[in-house]
Every structure is written in structure tokens, then in C-alpha cells.
Chains A and B, each alone.
Chain A
């Protein structure tokens, strides 16, 4: 038996291997995470502060909660109250409330400037942490063979406002708004 014949009979080396996953992937039948929609699935959007190191003075979620299809809006304070711990990290971050003492300290030392800075943060934040907006489909899926409901999700109105757009209708769909949304709440836009 020649060496050539022996080589040709070996598995793998120098030969094409038919991949078992190719037919499904090429037919659009792959199952990536975003392709899986269990019945009754809800969508979640995380809205984060668009300002680094800002102190959250208030979160106005009533308008968002009252929108059709919105199941729940949870704020960090509610989660903390319910005993939900932050994700464990190697280097601990200050939580929002921990800035309070520091700000007060500055105010005592430099009353006018400290106060101004505090008010600027407050104004900036009150402007931005407004939960509102909605995202479409509530209804049946005619070709899915099962009835499902896709619940409305939230969008960050403030980011859309920053881009000069009415976020309740179009923030999700306008490229200029997208970049703004992405800058302020990347996870939220990626989820939808």
C-alpha cells in the first residue's frame, strides 16, 4: 500500500469535513438567543443615567407605568428595598446614595459653588430621568402557529429629547437618535 493511499484514508487532514450545523444556519433556521421567543415573553429595557457620577434626585416613572402594555417599572430604590443585592464586583463602586455625604461636605466648605454644582446636577438629572415612550406590537402572530403577546417596552425619552426627537414614536427608529440612545443606555437599545 502506498503512502498516498494511506494518507487519503485518514480522517480529517487534507479533507473537507461536512459540518452538521451548516444546513440549518444556511436555511435561516439557526437558533440564536434573539431568535428564541417563549410564549408570554416580556421585554425589558434598562434605563441608566446619562450622566457619570450624577446623583439621582428623582425618577419619574408614573407616565411609563401607565402606558398600555407596560407590566412593571422598577427603580433601583425598589430593588434595594426588596433586598436585591448589586452584582458582586472585585473593586467596589460607590452606590448612588454614597455621594450624599461628600456633596454635603463640599457645600459646607464652599457654600455657593458647592450649592451651584449640586443644583446643576439636580437640574440635569431631573431633566433626563424621565421614563416614557413605548414600543409597538401588542397582538397575535399570524404565522407563528401560536398566539403570543409582545409587550410594550420602554424607551428613554430624555435621550430622544437630546436628539430633538419625540421619543414616544420614533427614537428607536431614527439613526441620529440611536447613537444618542446608544451613548446613554446601550443595553436598552441592544435589547429591542
Chain B
């Protein structure tokens, strides 16, 4: 089986991957990073969202080989140096999650947004999270969480 080489959460990784394997299956399978979830398996729910070279993508609709040589960030790589990411703190503070199944995907979509737009409007956030379905929390607190995180990041001066 061919070996896929890429960077995941800041470190080099290699995993066996056939041409038809999906990125999410490599992340959850050989790499055993189960924070990235498979909700619908059809690209509709967004639970599998990860960052590829900083852009939020659905890892269930991307072939693993397409990640070759790229940098993938999953929810496990969101916090840096043992310090929670502003998004993680804000979701805790604003009650942005209940069961937590969709949360990793929501966090990664939001991380992709904040990377490109540090001061998103409510409409920007709603637009960025359009592809993330949540079936228990409702979206009001999720949007509030992202706004809060954006505020925290701007206060920290982190881009």
C-alpha cells in the first residue's frame, strides 16, 4: 500500500493510504485522531472539517492523497503548547456545545474563518458555519462563541 506523507498538527506523519482512501479515514484510522468526526459521510454535516494549509475543508470529501505534502490541522492541534485556543475557551464560556459531536468541525470552520477574517460580523460567522450542522445546541450560542473568540484573539494581538 502506498505511503502518504504530510504534516499533521505540526509534525510529520506518514500513513498507508490507497488511492481511494478518504482523508478522514486516514486521520481517524491509521493516525488514530478520533476528534475529527464522521457525521453524515456525504459532505453535508461538516463534523469532519479540518484545516488544510489553513483552509477549512471537509475531510470526508477529500482524498487522502490530496493531502500529500500539505499541512493538516485537526481539532487535536488547535491548542498550542498546552494552552487552550481562544475558540475552545469561548465555546466553554458561551455554552457553544452540548453533546460535542459537531463541535470539532465547528471549531475548525471557525478557525479557518478567524484566520482569514479576524473581525467577522455575525453574518460572516453564519456564512462560514453554514456547512456545519448542530442538532442540539442551536446556532445562537455557537455564533456568540465565535464572536467571543474573535474578541479574545484581537485582544491578544494574535492573528
> Which residues of A line the B interface, CB within 8 A?
16, 18-19, 21-23, 25-30, 32, 34-35, 37, 136-137, 139, 141-144, 150, 169-170, 172-173, 175, 178-179, 189-190
Asked, given contacts A26-B97, A175-B43, whether A143 binds B31 with beta carbons under 8 Å apart, the answer is yes
- Which size class do B's interface residues fall under? 35 or more
Interface residue? B121 (CB, 8 A): no
| Closest Cβ–Cβ distance, residue B117 to chain A (whole Å) | 22
State in angstroms the CA–CA spacing of A23 and B100 once bound together. 10
Q: Give the nearest-CB partner of A31 in chain B.
A: B34
Write the residues of chain B forming the contact surface with A, with a CB cutoff of 8 angstroms: 1, 13-16, 18, 20-22, 25, 28-38, 41-43, 61, 63, 74-76, 78-79, 84, 88, 91-93, 95, 97, 99-101, 103-104, 107
Task: Compute how far the CA of A30 lies from the CA of B61 in the bound complex, rounded to whole angstroms.
Answer: 23
- The distance in angstroms between the C-alpha atoms of A32 and B103, with both chains bound, is 13
Q: List 27 A-B contacts (CB under 8 A).
A: A18-B92, A22-B100, A23-B88, A25-B99, A25-B100, A26-B75, A26-B88, A26-B97, A27-B78, A27-B84, A27-B88, A28-B78, A28-B104, A30-B35, A32-B37, A35-B28, A35-B34, A136-B21, A137-B25, A137-B30, A139-B30, A141-B30, A141-B32, A142-B15, A143-B31, A169-B20, A175-B43
Contact A32 B101 (CB under 8 A): yes
| Bound: A137/B26 CA distance, A | 9
Secondary structure class of chain B's binding surface, majority of residues: loop
Residues in B with CB closer than 8 Å to A29 are 35, 76
**In the complex, which residue of chain A has the Cβ closest to the Cβ of B42?**
A178
Known contacts A22-B91, A139-B30, A178-B41, A28 near B20 by CB under 8 Å: no
Taking CB atoms, residues of chain B closer than 8 Å to A170 are 20
Query: Taking A139-B16, A175-B42, A178-B42 as contacts, is the C-beta distance between A28 and B92 under 8 angstroms?
Result: no
A27 and B20 alpha carbons, distance in the complex (Å): 29
Inter-chain contacts of A190 with B (CB < 8 A): 41
Q: Please, which residue of chain A has its CB at the minimum distance from the CB of B89?
A: A26
Q: Which of A32, A139, A172 contacts B1 (CB 8 A)?
A: A139
User: Taking the nearest CB of chain B, how far is it from the CB of A150, in angstroms?
Assistant: 6
- Which A residue sits closest to B8, measured CB to CB? A143
**A68 smallest CB distance to B (angstroms):** 12
CA A35 to CA B29, docked complex, whole Å: 10
Counting chain A CB atoms within 10 Å of each CB, the highest count among B63, B95, B100 belongs to B100
Most chain-A CB neighbours within 10 Å: which of B20, B21, B61, B107? B20
Q: Determine if B29 and A26 form an interchain contact, defined as CB atoms under 8 angstroms apart.
A: no
Contacting pair B74 A28 (CB below 8 A) = yes
Q: Which single member of A34, A37, A137, A172 contacts B16 (CB below 8 Å)?
A: A137
B15 nearest in chain A by CB position: A142
CB of A107 to closest CB in B, whole Å: 43
A178 to B60, CA, bound (A): 12
Which of A26, A35, A173 has the largest count of B CB atoms less than 10 A from its CB? Answer: A26
